[in-house]
Structure 1
C-alpha cells in the first residue's frame, strides 16, 4: 500500500454518514489530513485556499452544482494541479451521466458502495501513475510544452507501460508548440498502428484547422465506426460538416451526440445555435432550454441560452401571432436573464430587443416600441464594443423592428472594428449592399496584410508604416490597432522614447472597448501592460 500520511484529501458528499465512512477508511489507510464538504460550492471555496492531492467527489449533490460542473470549474479556474487525483463517486450508472462525467476526464470513476479494500486498490494504482508522470505533470502546471515534450519522451523510453499515455502528452505539447507537421506524423502513426479515440479527435481537429476538410471528415467518420460512443467525435464531425456547408447534416450529428451525452451544456448551446440558423425552431427551443436549465449552476452559464430560447419561441410562430402561454414563457425567460445579468448593459440591450420582437408578434406594438427606444438609448451609452456575432444579430433585430438607420450605423461600426475578418464581412453583406459600409475596410485590410508580411520578415520600420496607413483608414479595427501597437513597442526596443509610447497608448485606447470575450483580449492586456508600465 502507498504511504498516504502526507497526502491532503478532500471528501465531498451531501450525506454526512458517507463522508464519515470514507474519512474513517482514509484514516485507517494512514491519512492524517482529510477535509470534508457537502456541496460543490464549498469544494471550489476550499480549493481556492488549499491544494489537495486527492479529491473524492460525489456526482449528485442535490441542489446546486453537480460533480461534473465542479470538475469543469476546477479545471478552468486552475484550482487543482495536474498532479491532483480527482475521483468521481456516484451511486448512479446511467449512460448519460457516465458519458457526461467521463468527457471531462476525472482520474477515476468509483461506484457506490465500495469498501476499504477496493478504495486502497484504486488509489494505489492512481498514486503510482501520478508519481511516474510527475515530471510531465509539473511541466503542464508550469505551462511549459517543451518540458512536457522532453519529459514524456524520457518516460516512454524508461517505462514502456506509460508509452501510450506519453504519446498523448507528446501530441498536446507539439500542438501547443505549433509544430503541426510533427504532430500530424505522430498522430497518423498512432492511428496506423491502432485506432485510438483521442488520436482520432486530435488528428481531425488538426486537419480541420489546416483547412483539410475532406481528410478531417474521413478521420472523424472512421473514428465513429470504431468508437460510436465517443461524443467528442460527433462534435468534430459536426464542425467539419458545418465548414463544408452541410448545416442540416451537422445538426443531425450533434443531435446524435446529445442522445449519448445530453448533459453537456456547450453541446446543447451549439445545437441550439445551429438549429436556429437552420430554422428548425422546435429543435432550437429544446436545445436552448436544456442549456439554460443545466447552466444555472454551471460555469458555462450564458445569456445566449436565454436569448436563443426566446428567439426560437418567437420564430416558431412564423407569420402568425404568439400564443399567450408562449409569450408568458418568453417573458419569464427574459425576466430571469435580466435579473441575472442586471449589471451587464450589453445583455440588457439584447434582452429588450428580443422582448420587443416577441411583443410585435403578440400584438403589443406600443410596448415593443417602448422597449426598442430604451434599447437604443442604452446602445448609445455603451462603453464597450459588441462582439462581431452580437453586432450582426442586433443589427438584424433593429432592422426587423423598423430601425434601419440604427442597424446601418451598427453594421458600419462592426465593419470598422472587425473588417479584417472575411466571415464578418460576409455576415454584413447579407444585411446590406451599401458600398460605404462594405468597401471601407478593403484598403485598410490590404495595408494590414502587407504590414504583417513585413513584420514577419523582420522589416519592422516598414511594417509600422504600413500598419499606420491601415489604422488611418480603420482607426477602431482591433487587429490593426494591436499590430500597430506591437510594432511601435518592437521598434522602440527596451527603452522606447515617449513619442512612440504615446502613439502606442493611443492605439490601445482606441480599442479599449473590445469585449473581454474577444480572443485577442489577452494580447491587448499584454501590450497595455508594456505600454503603460503595469
Structure 2
C-alpha cells in the first residue's frame, strides 16, 4: 500500500471545479501536501522551487496558453522533474491527434476525464511500484551518470532476472551515452531478434545513421514503420535517412504521414515545411510552416525559421500571379512578429527585410531597394556567421533582387565557413559555377579529411600541418578550426606553449561566431573551456 501521507502532489488544470475534485480525492486517500496551478507557466515556477512526487497535468489549458505537452517538454529538458517523479497527462479529449501528441514525450500515464478516486489510486500505485523497483537506475539518471545507470541495470538483473525486461531501455540509453557503439548495436539487435519494440528500432536506426551506415538504417526504419505504423518517431528517423540519401520527395511524404498521426509537434512541422520548400511544393510548405508558427507560440521549440519559412513559402506559392491582399497581410504580420521578438538577432533582421523586399519588389520597387539596402547594412555589421541554410537563402534573395555581386559574396563566405560539408557545397553549386568559390572548398575538404586520418592515427604534427593548410584556404571554416584546436589541445594546455595556446585560442574565437543552433556548438564549448580555463 502506498504511503499517501508522505507524497506531494501538483494538480494543474484551468477549471477550478476539477482541481477541487481531484484534491478532495487525494485528501480522502490521505495525501496532505497538494499544490495547485491553473497555467503551465505557474506549474513550471512551482516545479523550479520544489520536487513533486506526482504531477497531474491537464493537456489543454485553454487558448493562448502552454499545454501539457509543452510543460512536460520544459520539465524534462530543463531537468525540473526527477526521474522518480510521476507525470500523468489528463484530458477530457481522446482524439488520436491529441493522444499521440501527448504521448510523444512519454508521460508516465495518460488519464481521460472523468475518473474516480479508486481508478486514480490504482493507476498511481501501479506506476510507483514499477518506479520503486527501478529506484537505483532512476537515481543514477538524476545524477547524469550513465556508467552508474549501466551498473545499476546489471545489478538489478542479477538480483532478480525478472527485472531484465524493465532494464532494457535504460541499459541501451546508457550504452549510447557512453559511446559504446559496438556493444549497443549487438544489444539492440538481440532485442529485435527476441521481441521487437518501437524504441529498439528507433535506437538502432539512430545508431546506424550516426555511424554513416545510412542504407542499413533505412532498412531498419522501413521494417519499423511496417511493424509499428502508429509511432511517429519512426517516421522521423526514416525521413532523416531519406534526406541524407537525397530523396527529399519521399522524405516529405513520410513526414506528412507522421504529421497526420501527431500534428502538434512543432519541430516536425518545421522540418516538413523545409522539405516541401526544397521540393517546390509551396502549398504544403506554407501549411506546415503555418502550423509550426501557431503551435510554437508557447513552445520551447519556437524558432524564427518557422516565420521566415512561412513568409517565403507564401511568396513562392503566389509566383508570377502576384500577392493578393490577404496574403500580403499574413506575410506582413508574420515578419512583424519575428522581427519584434528577435530585435537583437541581426541575422533574423537581415532575412526578414530581404523577404519583405521580395514581397514588394514588383509593386513597390523603391521600397524593395530601401529594404535591401537596410538588410545589407545590418549584414555587414554582424559579428557572427549565418547558418549555411540562412546564407544560401540570403544569397538567392539578393540575386532575385538584382544584387548578384552581393549574393556571390555571401556564397563565397558560406563556402569558406561550411566548405567541408559536401551537401552545403552541392547547394552552393546550384547557385554558382564560379571556380573561385567552389574550388577552394574541395581542396580544403581533402586536406581536412587527411588531417582527421592523421589525427586518428596518432600523428599530431602531421595532422596539425594539414589543418593549417586547410585553414589557409578557408580561414573561416568552423570544422577545420575546431579540428585544429582539438589537435592542439590533445596533450593538454600545459604542453602547448605560448604560441600554441595563442593559435588554439584564435581558432576558437573564430568558431565562436557560429550560430548557437549549430550541431557543433557543444563541441566548441568543451574545447573553449579547456583552452580558456572557463
- Taking structure 2 as the reference length, the TM-score comes to 0.95
- Please give the per-residue CA displacement for 1:67-86, whole angstroms capped at 9, x wherever unaligned: 00111111122222222211
Asked whether 1:380 is paired with 2:401, we answer no
Greater displacement, 329-338 / 184-193: 184-193
Alpha-carbon distance change, 27 to 202 in structure 1, aligned in 2, over 3 angstroms? same
**Counterparts in 2 of 1:228-243, with a 5 A limit?**
228-243=229-244
Q: Deviations over 1:227-248 (max 9, x none)?
A: 2211122222222333333322
CA distance in 2, matches of 1:22, 1:160: 38
Matches within 5 A, 1:315-354: 315-354=316-355
Identify the residue that residue 313 of structure 2 maps to in structure 1. Answer: 312
Aligned equivalents of 1:224, 1:384: Cα separation in 2? 41
C-alpha contact 2:493 2:501 (8 A) present in aligned 1: no
Quote the residue 1:72 is aligned against: 73
| Distance (whole Å) between structure 1 residues aligned to residue 441 and residue 244 of structure 2 | 24
Deviations, residues 344-381 of structure 1 (Å, cap 9, x unaligned): 221111111111111124x2211111111110110001
Q: Is residue 25 from structure 1 mapped to residue 31 from structure 2 by the alignment?
A: no
1:317 aligns to what SS in structure 2?
helix
Distance between the aligned counterparts of 2:209 and 2:19, measured in 1? 46
Q: Contact 1:58–1:67 at 8 Å: present in 2 too?
A: yes
The answer to whether 1:271 aligns with 2:284 is: no
Give the corresponding residue for 1:97. Answer: 98
Partner of 1:497: 497
1:465–1:210 distance in 2 versus 1, CA, 3 Å: closer
Q: Note the 1:130-529 alignment, pairs <5 A.
A: 130-361=131-362, 363-494=363-494, 496-529=496-529
Distance in 1 (CA, whole Å) between partners of 2:39 and 2:390 is 35
User: Is 139-148 or 405-414 further displaced after alignment?
Assistant: 139-148
Query: 1:492: Cα distance to partner?
Result: 4.9
* CA distance in structure 1 between the aligned counterparts of 2:219 and 2:510, rounded to whole angstroms: 45
Any residues of structure 2 matched to 1:4-153 within 5 Å, and which? Answer: 4-62=4-62, 63-153=64-154
* SS of match in other structure, 1:515: coil
Structure 1 consecutive aligned stretches of length 4 or more whose deviation exceeds 6 Å:
none
- Using the TM superposition, give the Cα deviation of residue 493 of structure 1 relative to its aligned residue in structure 2, in angstroms: 4.5
Cα distance between partner residues in 1 of 2:37 and 2:11? 6
Q: Deviations over 1:290-348 (max 9, x none)?
A: 11111111111111111111111111122222212211221121112212222222111
Q: In the alignment, is the contact (CA less than 8 A) between 1:492 and 1:500 conserved in 2?
A: no
Distance 2:412 2:430 in 1: 13
Distance 1:51 1:383 in 2: 41
Rounded to whole Å, the distance in 1 between the matches of 2:251 and 2:492 is: 49
Give the stretch that moved more between structures: 291-300 or 133-142. Answer: 133-142
The whole-number CA distance in structure 2 between the counterparts of 1:533 and 1:241 is 41
**Alignment gaps of 5+ in structure 1:** none
Quote how far apart the aligned CAs of 1:215 are. 3.4
* Counterparts in 2 of 1:293 and 1:396: CA distance versus 1, 3 Å: same
What does the per-residue CA deviation read over 1:46-77, in whole Å, with 9 as the maximum and x for residues that have no partner? 22222222211111111310000111111122
Q: Deviation at 1:32?
A: 3.0
Q: Is the 8 Å Cα contact of residues 501 and 531 (structure 1) preserved in structure 2?
A: yes
Provide Cα deviations, 1:269-296, integer angstroms capped at 9, x if missing partner: 1111111111111111111111111111
Contact 2:12-2:56 at 8 Å conserved across structures? yes
**1:187 CA displacement:** 2.0
Alpha carbons 1:460, 1:491 under 8 Å: kept: no
1:496 Cα deviation (Å)?
4.5
Per the TM alignment, residue 489 of structure 1 is displaced from its structure 2 partner at its CA by 2.7
Between the aligned partners of 2:222 and 2:511, the Cα distance in structure 1 is 42
RMSD (CA atoms): 1.9
Query: CA offset at residue 147 of structure 1?
Result: 2.1
- Residue 404 (structure 1) shift: 1.1
Aligned residues: 533
Once the 2 structures are TM-superposed, how far is the Cα of residue 142 of structure 1 from its aligned partner? 2.6
The CA deviation at 1:130 is 1.3
CA distance in 2, matches of 1:397, 1:165: 53
CA–CA distance in structure 2, aligned partners of residues 184 and 384 of structure 1: 39
Deviations 1:191-235 (A, max 9, x none): 222231111222222333334444333332332333221112222
Aligned mates of 1:114, 1:160 — CA distance in 2: 35
Q: Please, which moves more after superposition, 270-279 or 507-516?
A: 507-516
Tell me which moved more, 289-298 or 435-444: 435-444
- Residue pair 2:425, 2:441 contacting (<8 A) in 1 also: no
Quote the Cα distance in structure 1 between the aligned partners of 2:135 and 2:281: 49
Provide the C-alpha distance between the structure 1 equivalents of 2:512 and 2:43, rounded to a whole number of angstroms. 35
Could you tell me how far apart the structure 2 residues matched to 1:458 and 1:84 are? 46
8 A contact 1:444–1:470 mirrored in 2 = yes
Give the secondary-structure state (helix, strand or coil) at the position aligned to 2:361: helix
Alpha-carbon shift at residue 513 of structure 1 (Å):
1.3
State the Cα distance separating 1:417 from its structure 2 match. Answer: 1.2
Q: How far apart are the structure 2 equivalents of 1:469 and 1:452?
A: 13
Contact 1:461 1:491 (C-alpha < 8 Å) held by counterparts? no
Would the alpha carbon gap of residues 533 and 197 (structure 1) be closer, same or farther in structure 2, given more than 3 Å must change? Answer: closer
Structure 2 unpaired stretches of 5+ = none
In 1: Cα distance, 2:18 partner to 2:492 partner: 63
